[in-house]
Amino acid sequence: MKIFNKFILCSLAASLILSSCEPDDYTGGGGGDNDKLTFSKIGGFTNGTGDEGFAEISAFDPNTGKLFIVNPNDSELSVWDISNPAQPVRGAGITLTGIPNSVAVYDGVVAVALENAANKQANGTVVTYDSDTQTLLNTYPAGALPDMVTFSPNGKYIVTANEGEPNDLYTNDPEGSVTIIEVATGQVSTLGFTAFNGRNIGNDFRVFGPNATLAQDIEPEYVAISNNSKKAYITLQENNGIAIVNLETKTIENVVGLGVKDYSLPANQIDASDKDDIVGNFKNWPVFGFYHPDAIAFARINGGRYLITANEGDARDYDGFSEETRVKDLTLDPDIFPNAATLQLDENLGRLKTTTANGDIDGDGNHEVIYAYGARSFSIWSTSGALIYDSGDEIGKTIFDLDPDAFNNNEGSEADKRSDDKGAEPEAVTTLKVGKQTLLFVGLERTGGILVYDISNPSHPRFLEWLRDTEDISPEGLIVVKDEDSPTGNDLVIATNEVSNTVAIYEIRKGDD
């Protein structure tokens, strides 16, 4: 526990902006002094002056030193010059005709995903701007509610995940889709999922919206693209799956279910109650968790290709339809759960958020299976959706060991407040190659901060750091800036925090830098 003790001592002595203390003599997967890493917060600022929602996703342009920030509250793309990260300078923002959800930059072109401001269920758009002059270049049609936008690594394609959420009454449920824009020609292809209607995807893939087809029920969330720019991998969060898209043929090749996590296994302990008067009450329970991935990243490691997901979890909870309930309100099958009365006490599983949409296997009104939302973890998958590694209960136990007051808190509130829900809620993931090491950064929406892992061996990741400033609350977006593109000459990690409206800039130094 040497690393944890040192972290706590550093945290107690931290100044307002210090939040990173490196493990003693850490050397990464490559070994040797050149692989020693230190992390430090070198800059930060607040975007907007109101409550949350003025800073969500960001993208950096190395050509101009500008950071572009999605600001949905003001229907604006905020612009900051971070050529000197220690002294960011706010520039003139770009006023948008729609609600921005995501932004990406490639070679001086800024792409913004806009949902329809008048009708969220109507089709949205993608707009592009010149990063230097900030003039509008093009407007492209997209599907309903484009939620995430990215460029392919070669810059040939702009890809959006169009979530297609229903309205609150659940009377209008547009189909989810994926839009592919060929930058050179302007050709737009929006791909739907109607070819999968009527199919049983399997492996705990969920289709459960009232009277919804599979194409309507699918809600694309986030996009990762392979290093050769040929495939896109789309998380389908509420559905507990991933879609695999061929960008060259512009077809959806497959939809895969991700299965469930077994919380009765020794490595998968959770604190399942916010009413047990015990912080960090880790136990095994007869519960399964849907992975429900939010962000996804693609990584090429030692010749292999991998997908990494942040398993946040998400429930459908609308006025017209809600699946959300608590375990104490289920009727548990007495043959499967002979100790149901004990399990359903508030201090045990009673408070745990669960679903009415799954678990009644035979339709008799009794639940034979208890499901939770999310896996409270990150996972590493093959590009076909096979699980290679899951972090189990490590996130919860790591936070508890480092700072019990932060354990399962709710955006800076008291500890244990989210134990009955989704824990720390891993929200964002991104990767970075540093020397011989591949680093993974995991943003925690509720607990806050960024967990850093060495995933150079994808089957055995190693925890390195928790980058955290308590003024930065609820990281929604994470990006990395490679050293050759960085204004400091060193790799950067930039976190956009949607509750505090703050942006945090961390620098990574190698060896004796």
**Least confident span in 17-31, 121-135, 454-468:** 17-31
Residue 4 scores a pLDDT above 60: no
CA distance 7 to 401: 10
For each of the domains in the chain, give its residue range(s) and CATH number, in order of start.
Answer: 23-314+374-510 (2.130.10.10)
Given this model, what pLDDT does residue 407 score?
Answer: 98
CA distance 23 to 42: 19
Are the CB atoms for 450 and 441 separated by under 8 Å? yes
For residues 382-388, average pLDDT: 98
Residue 314 scores a pLDDT above 90: yes
pTM, two decimal places: 0.93
> Look-up: residue for tokens 């792409």?
111
Terminal alpha carbon distance of the chain: 27
Q: What is the pLDDT of residues 9-37, one digit of tens each?
A: 333 333 323 333 333 333 333 333 346 89
* Res. 513 pLDDT band, cuts 50 70 90: low
Distances in Å between the Cα of 386 and the Cα atoms of 233, 241, 258, 380 are 13, 11, 8, 9
Can you name the residues that pair with 181 across neighbouring β-strands? 158, 188
The enclosing H or E element of 400 equals helix 394-402
Q: What share of the chain is helix, strand, coil (3-state, %, to 5)?
A: 10, 40, 50
For residues 205-229, average pLDDT: 98
Q: What is the pLDDT of residues 55-110, one digit of tens each?
A: 999 999 999 999 999 999 999 999 999 999 999 999 999 999 999 999 999 999 99
Given this model, what pLDDT does residue 28 score?
Answer: 37
Q: What is the pLDDT of residues 398-449, one digit of tens each?
A: 999 999 999 999 998 999 999 999 999 999 999 999 999 999 999 999 999 9
For residues 205-217, average pLDDT: 98
Q: Mean of the per-residue pLDDT values for the chain? A: 93
Q: What are phi and psi of 341, to 5 degrees?
A: -60, -40
Q: What percent of the chain has pLDDT over 90?
A: 91
> If we measure between CA atoms, which residue out of 311, 236, 113 comes closest to residue 244?
236
> If we measure between CA atoms, which residue out of 102, 314, 106, 139 comes closest to residue 223?
102
